[in-house]
Amino acid sequence: MSLTYALIIFAILLILIFFGVPIAYSIELSVVALLVITHLKPLILIPQKLEIGMDTFVYLAIPLFTLAGYLMEQGGLSDRLVDCVEKLFGWFPGSMGTITIICCLFFASLTGSGPATVAAIGAIMVPTMLKNGYSRREAAGLLAAGGALGPIIPPSIAMIVYATTMGLSVPEMFMAALLPGILLGAAFIVTNTVLVVRKGMKGERPHFTAKELGRSIWRALGVIFLPILVLGGIYGGIFTPTEAATIAAVYALILGLAYRELNLGKIITAMKKTVTTSAMVIFIVGISNAFGTVLAAANIPKTIASVIIPYLNSRVVYLLLLMVLLFLVGCVMETVSSIVILAPILVPIGISMGINEMHLGILFSICLIVGFITPPFGLNLFTSAATSEVSFQEVVKGVLPYLAAALAVVVLIAFIPQISLALPELLGY
C-alpha cells in the first residue's frame, strides 16, 4: 500500500513540475490529490501543517539575510570589494578570473545567494575579463561557477533550511560548510590558472602606489568586516543565527548610507526583492512540512528505505548513488524544495549505515548546490548568460572545466569526512 501511495504522490508531483507548475504549488497539489484519492488524512491537515512549518524562529534569518544581501547588491559595495582584491591579486596569472572567484567567495558570505552573487560581481568583472583576454564563453562559465559558492559559504539559506529540517545545529552546519566552500573556491582558482596558462595569458603587474593600495583596502574594510562580524558573533556565542541576520541587515543599511550609495529607491527595490525571494522560500518550507507529514503517515520513507537498503551493500555505493541522484535533482529543482522533500527520505538511510549526520548534511547540500552549474537547467547558467550577454550553450561550454573541478571536490568531501567535520570538532561541537 505504501508503494502505491508513493507512486501516486510522486507521479503527480513530477507531472506538475514537467508542465511548469511552480514547485510550491506542485508539492501542495500532489498532497491534496493523494489525500482526496486515498482519504489517508483529512484535508484540514494541509493548512495546519503549513502554518506549523512556517512558524519557526530560525526561519526569521532567511528574510533578514536575504535583505542584507540585496542591500549590499543595491549599495554597490561589490565595486569596493573588486577594487581591493584586484590590487592584492592582480599579479597572478589569469588574475581577472582569480579576482572574480575571490570576489564571489567574499560576496557569497554577504548574500548567501548564487544568482545574486553572479549578478553583482558579473556586472563589474565580465567587461574587465573581456579586456584582459578572456572570451565571453570563458568569462560566463567562470562567473557561473563562482556564483555557486554563494549557497555554500555561510550564512547560507540552504544550510539553515537543511539544519532545521533535519534537527541539526545551524551554527555547527555553518562551520562545517566553511572548509568545503573554501576548497571549492580554491579548485576553481586552480582550474582558471591552468586554463589561462595553457592559453598563454600572463599575470599583469598593476601600477599603483602603496598609498593607493591602502586606500583601496580602507574603502573595502566595511564590506570585509561584515562576514567577520556575523560569523564571529555566531561562533563566539554572542548571538544566534537569527540575531546575526538582524545585525547583518542593519549593518548593510548603515554601511550603504554611510558610503552614500543607497537611496530610498534602492532600499525599496531591495525590500521588494527580499519579499519576493523570502515568501517563495518560506512557503516552500511550510508546504513541505505538510508533504513530509503525509509521507510519514503513508509510511513511504521507511518503505523506500526497506526496498533500497538491500541493494546498498556498502557506504561507498550509497554515497556514489546519492551524489549522482542529487546532481541530477539539483539541476532541475530549487535547492530548498529538494532538501525538504528528499532529505527526510534519503538521509536516514545513510545514518543507519553509520555515516555521520553532519557530514552527510554538508555533502547533501553541496551536491544540490553544484546543480546550480549543472546543465541543462542550472540556475546560475541562465543568470550568467543574461549577465554576460552570451547564449546559454556558450555558458555551458565555458562552465564544463569548473563543473569537473566541482565534482572532484565533492568526491573528496564525500570520502574524507574530516574536510567538513574538522572545524566543528575543533570548536567543540
- pLDDT (tens digit, 9 = 90+) per residue, 60-118? 877 887 788 778 778 777 677 777 777 776 666 677 788 888 878 777 666 666 666 77
Is 166's pLDDT higher than 60? yes
Is 210's pLDDT higher than 70? yes
Neighbours of 365 (CB within 10 A): 28
Question: For residue 104, what is the DSSP state?
Answer: H
Q: Please report where in the chains the cell 522560500 appears, as a residue.
A: 281
pLDDT score at 179: 92
pLDDT score at 206: 59
Is 237's pLDDT higher than 80? no
Is 204's pLDDT higher than 60? no
Mean pLDDT throughout 265-293? 82
Assign 240 a pLDDT band (cuts: 50, 70, 90).
confident
pLDDT score at 416: 94
Question: What is the rounded CA–CA span in Å between residue 388 and residue 145?
Answer: 13
Maximum separation of any 2 CA atoms in the chain, in Å: 75
Is 401's pLDDT higher than 90? yes
Mean pLDDT, all residues of the chain: 82
Cis? peptide before 127, omega within 30° of 0: no
Enter the pTM of the model. Answer: 0.74
All three cell numbers of 358:
553532519
Is 387's pLDDT higher than 90? no
Contacts within 8 Å (CB) and 24+ apart, 22-29: 23/284, 23/333, 23/334, 23/337, 24/280, 24/283, 24/284, 24/287, 24/337, 27/284, 27/287, 27/288, 27/291, 27/337, 27/341, 28/287, 28/290
Is 2's pLDDT higher than 90? no
Mean pLDDT throughout 123-140? 82
pLDDT score at 120: 66
pLDDT score at 418: 94
The pLDDT tens digits of the residues spanning 10-30 come to: 888 888 877 878 777 888 898
Collapsing DSSP states into helix, strand and coil, what is residue 1? coil
Mean pLDDT throughout 357-384? 82
Looking at per-residue confidence, does 312 or 44 come out higher? 44
pLDDT score at 115: 62
Mean pLDDT throughout 172-199? 90
pLDDT score at 376: 65
Mean pLDDT throughout 194-207? 72
All three cell numbers of 419:
574536510
All three cell numbers of 210:
602603496
Is 412's pLDDT higher than 70? yes
pLDDT score at 202: 61
Assign 159 a pLDDT band (cuts: 50, 70, 90).
confident
Weakest mean pLDDT among 139-143, 308-312, 335-339: 308-312
- Residue type for 414, please? A
223 with 73: CB under 8 angstroms? no
Question: What is the rounded CA–CA span in Å between residue 75 and residue 69?
Answer: 10
pLDDT score at 108: 67
Mean pLDDT throughout 383-400? 82
